[in-house]
Homo-oligomer: A and B are copies of this chain.
């Protein structure tokens, strides 16, 4: 049985009869091929990447598993080609998710003047040009009563530096913050962002690869970061994960590192490090935090 994914925070959504991703019970995610060259470019990337023996396993884990393409009835009723991918939120009950588009620019040097002008405008209107990334969407699980905090996409995209900083704190808050005088507590920062299995450690692992790899330029790709608040509050591991998605604009690296992605990734790392630092209990208690 195909259904509309519950936890999509950015991109086209399959509602109101429009075309968007679908999932099934077996853990597959069906993404309609985008129009023009984008759809075929994304298929080409997944095929090439899947077969590329130069990708280390510890890096491959950051990418959705690719199962091929399938011609099927799309969510809008039309017959359409889909990418068949791993459902990244499978078995997550109430995932807290953020979609972050990486890079201060979302165009490649070979793009047309018109396309560059369009992207440049968008990159300057959002935080991309200034921060090296922009938050495209997020949902933060609050509790069973409230459900999710999921600000409107347009509002998220307009975030300034301080807004972005606040969203990274809200993302790891343990108590409800909407309508509260106290503001987000960032109480799960150390559990979710820090630690050997935390978001930061995974981002640093990716960074080390990006400092060296010259195979791909991941133009206009996003990082998904996610965890389970329920597990964290129960004292267990929050199952924090980082994934890279959206490869319609990937280009060949041709011997040059992806300095645009890497720069944005380093900026993101700095933001997350700052939230960890600001919410480090040890720091408050005995001043030994960094």
Binding site for B on A (CB under 8 A): 104-105, 109, 116, 120, 124, 129-132, 161, 165, 211-212, 214, 254-257, 259-260, 262-264, 266-267, 269-270, 274
Contact = CB atoms under 8 A, between A and B. Distances in A.
Given A109-B124, A120-B120, A129-B109, A266 B259 contact: yes
A119 to B, nearest CB: 11
A270 B208 CA distance: 12
A140 to B, nearest CB: 22
Contacts of A165: 255
Q: Which 5 A/B pairs are nearest by Cβ-Cβ distance?
A: A263-B263, A259-B263, A132-B259, A259-B267, A109-B129
Contact of A211 (B120, B214, B266): B266
B109 A256 contact: no
A211 B259 contact: no
B105 A256 contact: no
A236 to B, nearest CB: 32
Contacts of A270: 211-212, 214, 256-257
A161 B254 contact: yes
| Chain A contact residues: helix, strand, loop or mixed | helix
Contacts of A254: 161
Contacts of A211: 266, 269-270
Nearest to A102: B259
A259 B269 CA distance: 11
Contacts of A262: 262-263, 266
A251 to B, nearest CB: 10
23 contacts: A104-B259, A104-B260, A105-B105, A109-B124, A109-B130, A116-B120, A120-B120, A130-B256, A131-B256, A132-B256, A132-B260, A132-B263, A161-B254, A211-B266, A211-B269, A211-B270, A255-B274, A256-B270, A259-B263, A259-B264, A262-B263, A262-B266, A263-B266
A132 B259 CA distance: 6
A262 B132 CA distance: 11
Contacts of A264: 259, 263
Nearest to A270: B257
Contact of A256 (B120, B255, B257, B267): B267
A133 B270 CA distance: 23
Given A131-B259, A132-B257, A165-B255, 7 more contacts: A104-B259, A105-B105, A132-B256, A257-B270, A259-B264, A259-B266, A262-B262
Contacts of A259: 104, 131-132, 263-264, 266-267
**A129, A132, A254, A263: most-surrounded residue (chain B CB, <10 A):** A263
